[in-house]
A = this chain, B = another copy of it.
Amino acid sequence: MHDVAARAGVSIKTVSNVVNDRPHISAETRERVDRAIAELDYQVNVSARNLRLGRTGMIGLAIPALSVAYYGELADLVISRAAEEGLTVVVEPTAACRDAEIDALRGARRRLTDGLLIAPVTLTAADVTHLSAAGPLVILGEDVLDPAFDHVTMADVDGARAATELLLAQGRRRIAVVGPAPGEESKAGGLRLTGYRQALRAAGVPYDESLVVAAGAWGREDGARAALSLLDAGLAPDAVFAVTDTLALGVLHTLRTHGVAVPEDVAVVGFDDVDEARFSHPTLTSVSPGRAEIARTAVRLLQRRLVADGPVEPVVHQAEFRLVERGSTGADRAADSGE
């Protein structure tokens, strides 16, 4: 910067002003400085600027893993939105592990970033003591852990209700649910089960607990196994609502290998609307949780805290969902793929 100033025949302060696009600089001076910058191939030193400004321009994104389709797609969106705000994202995979989530909250990495976006899987409301570690924070996820923090949630209950209503409208009455673990009322699976029950109640269809199958984890194989247990038990459902797309894809697999026609014999709906749902066989009807809106809102809320002087009123934002109908509920599939 000294060199640039010397070459342009101005003071170092003027160079700084030009670089930071300050007003009150004569066009002629600005041009001279710009030329000097170009000639010397000068680039500002980010570390020095950060030191002086007391911020790093970076935010953390703590999620279970990038290899999980939902989070990989979310990360792409967050990175893109953050870039528009001039922010750089550091991804911290937590492997859905409690220690890693706490570390994201309190660890050294936290000092490296100005703020944190975290999608907690294992943390509970009781862990908010850990969250008290200072610094701007936005929580992504289903349940509101502590209303003292910003939350960006999705419409688990309403989305699940809409999915169930679609099945009911087709005359389906024995609608199985795959995924919810007992006792997880406030997590995604539990909330989505709540939406399902609301739809049943509104339609006057009795709730049959034997049609609810837990799935262990949320992988394809868990869905396949759950569907198998449904078939083996002779429960003869005429529809399945799986609380995630990966589970639904596993369900589709089992139904296919057992000669059950989808959607004729059994309709299937998932949740998440991952890319793979557009290409499965049949294509998968799913609740799109508004990933783009979630990413956008999360970055915006965090940025709001970054630029704020004083304390900021916490916000809970729920993204709008959309039910995307595809082949697994009999929708026209012509637009879905090239087949």
* A residues whose Cβ falls under 8 Å from a Cβ of B: 43-48, 50-51, 56, 58, 65-69, 72-73, 75-76, 79-80, 88-93, 108-109, 111-112, 219-222, 224-225, 228, 249-250, 253-254, 256-257, 275-276, 279-281, 337-339
Query: For A221, what are the chain B residues with a Cβ–Cβ distance below 8 Å?
Result: 279, 337-339
Q: How many copies does the complex hold?
A: 2
What is the CA–CA distance of A68 and B69 in the complex, to the nearest angstrom?
A: 8
What is the CA–CA distance of A275 and B99 in the complex, to the nearest angstrom?
A: 25
What is the CA–CA distance of A176 and B339 in the complex, to the nearest angstrom?
A: 19
29 contacts between A and B (CB under 8 A): A43-B108, A44-B111, A45-B51, A47-B51, A51-B51, A58-B90, A65-B72, A66-B72, A66-B75, A66-B76, A67-B69, A67-B72, A69-B72, A72-B72, A76-B93, A79-B92, A89-B90, A90-B90, A220-B279, A221-B279, A221-B337, A221-B338, A221-B339, A224-B279, A224-B338, A224-B339, A253-B280, A254-B339, A257-B339
What is the CA–CA distance of A275 and B217 in the complex, to the nearest angstrom?
A: 15
Q: Are A225 and B111 in contact (CB under 8 A)?
A: no
Q: Are A253 and B281 in contact (CB under 8 A)?
A: yes
Q: Are B44 and A47 in contact (CB under 8 A)?
A: no
Query: For A45, what are the chain B residues with a Cβ–Cβ distance below 8 Å?
Result: 51, 111
Given contacts A228-B339, A281-B253, contact A93 B79 (CB under 8 A): yes
Query: For A48, what are the chain B residues with a Cβ–Cβ distance below 8 Å?
Result: 51
| Shortest Cβ distance from residue A80 to the other chain B in the assembled complex, whole angstroms | 7
Residue of B nearest to A50 (CB): B47
List 6 additional A-B contacts (Cβ < 8 Å) besides A43-B111, A65-B72, A253-B281. A45-B51, A80-B93, A220-B276, A221-B339, A253-B279, A254-B339
Given contacts A90-B90, A91-B91, contact A279 B339 (CB under 8 A): no
What is the CA–CA distance of A45 and B111 in the complex, to the nearest angstrom?
A: 7
What is the CA–CA distance of A68 and B73 in the complex, to the nearest angstrom?
A: 8
Q: Are B90 and A88 in contact (CB under 8 A)?
A: yes
Q: Are A257 and B279 in contact (CB under 8 A)?
A: no
Query: For A337, what are the chain B residues with a Cβ–Cβ distance below 8 Å?
Result: 220-221, 224
What is the CA–CA distance of A69 and B281 in the complex, to the nearest angstrom?
A: 19
| Shortest Cβ distance from residue A16 to the other chain B in the assembled complex, whole angstroms | 16
